[in-house]
Structure 1
Amino acid sequence: MMKKAVNHSRVQVVVRLRPVLDEAEIDVEPCVRELDGNSLEIFNWRNNKETLKYRFDAFYGKSSSQEEVFESSVASLLVHTLNGQNASVFAYGATGTGKTHTMLGRPGDIGVIPRSVQKILSVAKSESATWKYSIQFSYLEIYQERVYDLLVPKNHDLQIREDRDRNIIIPSLAVKEITSYEQFQKYFIPASHNRYQLCISHYTKMFTLLVTKVQQAEPFRKLTGKLLLIDLAGSEDNKRTGNQGIRLKESGAINVSLFVLGQVVDALNQGLPRIPYRDSKLTRLLQDSLGGTAHACMVTNIAPEERNYMDTYTTLNFAAKSRQIVNKPFTRESTEKPSRVTLKRKASDEHRPSAPAKKMASQESTPIVNARVNVLKQQVLQPFLSPILRKHDHFAESVVSRLENLERNILNHMKQPVQPVVPPPPPQENQQDILKQLKKCREQLKEVQQQNQRLTKEKTEEEVLTSDCLFQRVPLIKKKSRSKLGTRCDEPSYSGCSQKDRKPLSAVNGVSTDVQFVKIIPECNSVSKESNDALDVSGTNWTVKLNPELQEKHNAEILNVINSGTVKQLKSLQSIGEKRAKLIYDWRQLNGQFRSIEELQRVNGLTRKTVESIVKNNLLSKVVFQ
């Protein structure tokens, strides 16, 4: 596929103000005021006597219609898609500002997605005489950093990949081909109801339209364009809305993805060498739209109510930064001849025997011509070289004779029968020697197996070194046999002794009392559960338990690092890498400090088993390497 670069394209940013929804606030002065068709202003929350002014590519007031937004800002991008380039339109804003209404609309007042499909289908129908169109679309959602297919629902998260041309693709995503708007509605309307949750503001919806057209005449150009129409999930302030439970987790995941989106925009504006596209599924899918190879338009939705001032303020600031991003689109074009066009083959020379005769009759009689005629007459004797000699009449007599001799030798060689080569049988003496050696090897193998069985039997009788818990300052006790331990424990009999007469564990088997984090407690049948510090030497089962006081102290140290440490300090903990450290740090910045280590489970991507392994591995590292 040939790529033709075009001029750089800046991301277009338009702002749409929805009307007031509450009738009680209709007469209240809104926090946003229109200056002209491209500018607006809001009051400065730091100084009420001043206003903040913003200028964008277009501003649509509360009375703007769906058709006006589409024809003014979106229709021009469809031309790029039809010319083999990528384009994208995504709606951005807080929850309840009208993003879904802008992208989907309602019956009788459709939005950007249905209007784009109608426009492309109408163009394909009008150009059917000169171009052959193939229009396909896919539909997905992003919910809590998981990608789900809406056309053909699946129970697992879809993986995002990048092909060799650096295009972002999802291999297992369902694709439907359409030829009419009725067929599009047949697939799209049921897919819109295949949402993970009933509330439509908790997830991001992405509609992809792939347009391929092939020219019906020479030079048979093939153009491939892609249109992305994205309805981003709305951001929310959890402190103001009071979200709890599942809704709190959903809004936290949405805010993290939008936070990464802001980092991508900042990195593009600053010209940083690394753009964090891979830190979020949303930014990964928007890689072509922001700083990529697509013409992009961001429809920023805001609300006029004064209670939504802070959301409006942050949304306008993000839109102003996004307007500075520059993309580098190019045309995807190739040449493809249709399968119906077939080239007419010339008739074979064998079906036209008169052509060489006419040519030879027109030429003068020479020795070369005579030899050529003789070759044509002997076609039966020369089945292989006759076609070559008929096509090349400029061969000399010597060349013709050499070719005839070569062909004759080949035919004679092919007629000779080929006798198969049979290997000579081995002598009987060698066979007897081989049988003797084989029998001897079997006997040696049998002896080795018996010896291994004896060794394994002896090994099971001896008790191996018991080292269930490898902690520092806890010596490993090697027991040679049960009988020795029993006789050793029979000397200081504890069965009838009082609590004062009993000796500690270190006095019996020489273990140091300076033990950290663990307590060795014998499990004895003759000792009650209340006297765990006593040692019953007649018992043989031993257990190792952690010291709860020191464990709580260690957990407090880990929690202190998690609540106050940087990303680099978080990476110093065991089982916490670069990705987990960023997730913990971002969650802490948005939701505050953790009250306990178990609250790490609230971070997206950290399960209960993961949190337990973090605590366990850090405890082991502290004990073993301290």
Structure 2
Amino acid sequence: MPAAAEDERVRVFARIRPPQASTLTAAATTKRDDRRVTVSNPTAAISSRREFRVDKVFDATATNEDVYLGVGAPILDAVLAGCHGSILAYGQSGSGKTYSMLNDDGDVAAAGIVPRAAVDLFKRVRFDQAYVYDIAISMVQIYNETAIDLLTNSGASLKATQRKDGAGGFELADCEWRHCRDAVDLLGNFRRGRTNLIYAETKMNRHSSRSHCVLLVRVNRVSRAASSSTDESTGCKLYTQLQGLLTIVDMAGSERAKKSQSQGVRFNEATHINGSLLTFGNVVHALAEKQMHVPFRDSMLTKLLESSLSGRSRTALIVCVAPETEHAHESITSLELAARCMRVESRPIV
């Protein structure tokens, strides 16, 4: 089945991280051109070479600024127009997802999508004299199938309930929302939330995310000038209001127990991570094939992603892959999901 038109489907991007310094072999995963990735797998039973087409390929020379301008900025455009916009990162452990999405290590040039979106959002708002904006942030992690508020750090689990705003899907009704006056305020909340994320060292990744991170930015926009309409009961002028929602998700990386050598608590975490990612893949498959039943309810991750994937959001998926031959199998698996996601329809509504 062919991909839908670009403006009517999920936009899909591939990012190939730089090879690790200790790697001496030729890269298995490479950029063929701006829209094609090739993966050679000489370790397979039958040596193979696969090619995948996406909307854009970012190779090892691409910067986080390049990724934000190509992926993040267009999604922010939709949010400021009153739509739901989503940016999702997917890939195996250690492939560069968190660096692309959340990096905030003090090097401005290496800032990830979240810090760049925060600065860009308030820059645009500051120069828009036609509207008054109210901006708020919420941040949760999904750890072992439990949603936990990162801004309060209470440790209490949050319950997913059906959304009441007509956008469809689920929301965490009891999560904390913090109003933000400027980018410094938003980033302060983001940094406090990030300190509560759960990381651990595994054989595959020295700083492995053990949970999925979900950040929400709500943007309410009200016209400064009264419209021509008047409330008949009060005689007051009516104002035009739009609400946009930005959803940014850094999914924990898939990992094979044999490679990560996870045991005990780490193995239990990996089991939950892989299970939720399997459900995510099943959801993408069902949507791509236009199946009647889509298993959104089978994991907490996909419950919260229903409004991003059910066709009413401007959504971008960044699939991060590692270039080394030893990761060729995982790269192929990730890019196969990317190919299916190219067929998931998405027509955002205001």
TM range (shorter): 0.7 to 0.9
1:312 aligns with 2:331: yes
Q: Corresponding residue for 1:181?
A: 183
Q: Corresponding residue for 2:114?
A: 113
Does structure 1 conserve the Cα–Cα contact (< 8 Å) formed by 2:134 and 2:221? yes
Kindly report the root-mean-square deviation, in angstroms, between the aligned alpha carbons of the 2 structures. Answer: 1.6
Q: Corresponding residue for 2:136?
A: 136
Q: How does 1:140-539 map to 2 (within 5 A)?
A: 140-164=140-164, 165=166, 166-198=168-200, 199-219=207-227, 220-331=239-350
Q: Which structure carries more strand by proportion?
A: 2
The letter of the residue matching 1:328 is R
* Per-residue deviation, 1:163: 3.1
Q: Choose 1 or 2 for highest CA Rg.
A: 1
User: How many residues end up aligned between the 2 structures?
Assistant: 321
1:14 aligns with 2:13: yes
* Per-residue deviation, 1:167: 5.0
User: Deviations 1:226-277 (Å, cap 9, x if unpaired)?
Assistant: 0001100100111333221111111001111011111111111222211110
User: Deviations 1:338-368 (Å, cap 9, x if unpaired)?
Assistant: xxxxxxxxxxxxxxxxxxxxxxxxxxxxxxx
Does structure 1 conserve the Cα–Cα contact (< 8 Å) formed by 2:148 and 2:156? yes
1:75 aligns with 2:52: no
Q: Give 1:32's match in structure 2, choosing from 26, 29, 50.
A: 29
The letter of the residue matching 1:12 is R
Q: Corresponding residue for 1:41?
A: 38
Q: Quote the Cα distance in structure 2 between the aligned partners of 1:271 and 1:181.
A: 40
* Per-residue deviation, 1:121: 0.5
Q: Quote the Cα distance in structure 1 between the aligned partners of 2:221 and 2:294.
A: 33
The letter of the residue matching 2:123 is S
The letter of the residue matching 2:181 is T
The letter of the residue matching 2:114 is I
* Per-residue deviation, 1:46: 5.1
| Structure 1 unmatched ranges of 5 or more | 1-6, 332-626
Where 1:258 maps in the other structure, the secondary structure is helix
Q: Quote the Cα distance in structure 1 between the aligned partners of 2:337 and 2:61.
A: 24
Does structure 2 conserve the Cα–Cα contact (< 8 Å) formed by 1:8 and 1:329? no
Q: Quote the Cα distance in structure 1 between the aligned partners of 2:29 and 2:93.
A: 17
Does structure 2 conserve the Cα–Cα contact (< 8 Å) formed by 1:291 and 1:328? no
User: Deviations 1:502-556 (Å, cap 9, x if unpaired)?
Assistant: xxxxxxxxxxxxxxxxxxxxxxxxxxxxxxxxxxxxxxxxxxxxxxxxxxxxxxx
| Structure 2 unmatched ranges of 5 or more | 1-5, 201-206, 228-238
The letter of the residue matching 1:317 is E
What TM-score do you get using the length of structure 2 for normalisation?
0.88
Where 1:218 maps in the other structure, the secondary structure is coil
Identity %: 27
Where 1:225 maps in the other structure, the secondary structure is strand
Q: Quote the Cα distance in structure 2 between the aligned partners of 1:316 and 1:118.
A: 31
Q: Quote the Cα distance in structure 1 between the aligned partners of 2:84 and 2:251.
A: 19
What TM-score do you get using the length of structure 1 for normalisation?
0.50
Q: Corresponding residue for 1:443?
A: none
Where 1:284 maps in the other structure, the secondary structure is helix
User: Deviations 1:114-163 (Å, cap 9, x if unpaired)?
Assistant: 11111111111001x21000011101100000000011112321001113
* Per-residue deviation, 1:51: 2.0
Q: Quote the Cα distance in structure 2 between the aligned partners of 1:268 and 1:13.
A: 15
User: Deviations 1:458-504 (Å, cap 9, x if unpaired)?
Assistant: xxxxxxxxxxxxxxxxxxxxxxxxxxxxxxxxxxxxxxxxxxxxxxx
Q: Quote the Cα distance in structure 1 between the aligned partners of 2:68 and 2:7.
A: 23
Task: List structure 1 segments (4+ residues) > 6 angstroms apart after TM superposition.
Answer: none
* Per-residue deviation, 1:75: 0.6
Q: Quote the Cα distance in structure 1 between the aligned partners of 2:155 and 2:268.
A: 20
Q: Quote the Cα distance in structure 2 between the aligned partners of 1:304 and 1:196.
A: 26
The letter of the residue matching 1:212 is N
Q: Quote the Cα distance in structure 1 between the aligned partners of 2:256 and 2:60.
A: 24
Q: Quote the Cα distance in structure 2 between the aligned partners of 1:236 and 1:155.
A: 26
Q: Quote the Cα distance in structure 2 between the aligned partners of 1:223 and 1:155.
A: 33
Where 1:330 maps in the other structure, the secondary structure is coil
Q: Quote the Cα distance in structure 1 between the aligned partners of 2:90 and 2:117.
A: 18
Where 2:276 maps in the other structure, the secondary structure is helix
Where 1:185 maps in the other structure, the secondary structure is helix
Question: Which has the higher relative contact order, 1 or 2, with Cα contacts under 8 A spaced 6 or more apart?
Answer: 2
Q: How does 1:91-106 map to 2 (within 5 A)?
A: 91-105=89-103, 106=105
The letter of the residue matching 1:103 is M
